[in-house]
């Protein structure tokens, strides 16, 4: 029987049957991801996939003028690099580390080999990809139909869900880039949340003080994404 290890901090790795996990473990390399580090660039094929443990990676679409908008976040619930096993090889998005921490790295070809065995790993990755697509679609809806206050609440909750604690290190300028809005809008929205006692914000350090209060203010987009992840990545249904 495999010994307990921190790979279980990643939900996908933790749900794999022992036989499948045993094939991957010798090739899983633990790495440190630093804030702002690029894991993949638009149009370039990734050589590795990443299973975050306590880090968060943002998937961003970047315009020709340099403006960017976050389309999804990946944390301990998932994997960065779905294009490698979905057959597309590249994507037009970038993968940038939003919150520094640890991850396990695996050569893309090894994951593809496991995927094409058509066993539990394939079912798990396909379900995760569907959940990720739901997050992307709902993010597009939210950015079009909801105000900055609601978008910020959604972003904070999705980020906290993917971290072991209730603290984030993120400047307002970076948040504005993620949401694709003006920095002044983020400053105003964060100020409202702080005055309401929902968050504490000081020099790029954000602490969520009142999670139920954030959930009361957020739009329906957060619940749609969370419910879909919970439904699709239910251990018993996947296996």
Residues 6+ apart with CB under 8 A from 129: 82, 86
Instruction: Yes or no: say if 67 and 126 are a contact pair by the CB < 8 Å rule.
Output: no
Please tell me whether the overall predicted TM-score, pTM, comes out greater than 0.85 for this model: yes
Residue among 189, 199, 206 at smallest CA distance from 149: 189
Torsion 223-185-34-165 (CA) sign: negative
CA-closest candidate to residue 199, choices 160, 148, 162: 160
Q: Which residues contact 188 (CB under 8 A, 6 or more apart)?
A: 148
Domains of the chain: 6-119 (2.60.120.10), 143-224 (1.10.10.10)
Q: For 211-232, what is each residue's pLDDT tens digit?
A: 999 999 999 999 999 999 999 9
Average pLDDT of the chain to the nearest whole number: 88
Per-residue pLDDT at 106 exceeds 90: yes
- Model confidence pLDDT, tens digit, residues 35-83: 889 999 888 888 999 999 999 999 998 888 877 788 999 999 999 999 9
């Amino acid at each position: 029987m495999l010994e307990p290890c921190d790979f279980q901090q990643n939900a996908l790795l933790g749900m794999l049957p022992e036989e499948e996990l045993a094939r991957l473990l010798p090739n899983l390399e633990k790495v440190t991801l630093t804030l702002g580090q690029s894991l993949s660039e638009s149009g370039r094929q990734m050589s590795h996939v990443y299973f975050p443990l306590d880090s968060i990676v943002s998937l961003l679409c970047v315009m020709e003028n340099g403006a960017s908008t976050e389309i999804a976040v990946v944390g301990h619930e998932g994997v960065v690099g779905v294009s490698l096993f979905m057959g597309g090889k590249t994507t037009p998005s970038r993968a940038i580390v939003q919150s520094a921490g640890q991850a396990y790295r695996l050569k893309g070809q090894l994951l593809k080999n496991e995927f094409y065995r058509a066993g539990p790993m394939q079912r798990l990755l396909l379900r995760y990809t569907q959940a990720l697509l739901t997050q992307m679609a709902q993010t597009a809806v939210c950015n079009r139909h909801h105000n900055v206050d609601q978008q910020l609440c959604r972003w904070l909750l999705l980020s906290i869900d993917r971290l072991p604690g209730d603290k984030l290190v993120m400047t307002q300028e970076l948040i504005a880039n993620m949401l694709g809005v003006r920095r002044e809008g983020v400053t105003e929205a964060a100020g409202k949340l702080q005055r309401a006692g929902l968050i504490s914000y000081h020099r790029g350090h954000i602490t969520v003080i009142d999670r139920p209060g954030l959930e009361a203010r957020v739009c329906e987009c957060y619940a749609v994404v969370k419910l879909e992840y919970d439904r699709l990545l239910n251990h018993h249904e996947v296996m």
